[in-house]
Amino acid sequence: MRHPIDGVKVISILGEDYSIKAPAGEEQTLMDAALMLKAALADTKRKYPTLIGERLLVLAAMNLCSQQIEMKKQHAQELERYQEQVSATVEVIAKTIQQN
């Protein structure tokens, strides 16, 4: 990944250069996203060595999207569990206060 002076990052994906300007303060996020995509492409290429170009890119992107959806589901489930725990704790505290 090259870093031109004007703040635009040139990212090479599958041999193509893409000039992308991140919002101020988000340059590291852009670089991390590029590294994540490259890792996903490498992983997908290992699993499907005959895929090239656009098909490889689409399958890697679909895999990343699937992972994101799964993480959102897991996060929602964890949040629900935490909310249940907090509610149960509040209920115990309320009962304790009422008894006193």
- Report whether 59 contacts 83 (CB < 8 A): no
In the chain, domain spans: 8-99
User: Does residue 9 contact residue 32 with C-beta atoms inside 8 Å?
Assistant: no
User: What integer pLDDT is reported at residue 6 of this predicted model?
Assistant: 59
Go through 82-91 and write b for each residue having 16 or more CB atoms within 10 A of its CB, e for each that does not.
eeeeeeeeee
As averages over each run of 10 residues, the pLDDT of the chain (100 residues) reads: 63 92 89 95 96 94 96 96 94 86
Residue 56 contacts residue 14 (beta carbons within 8 Å): yes
The per-residue pLDDT for 13 is 93
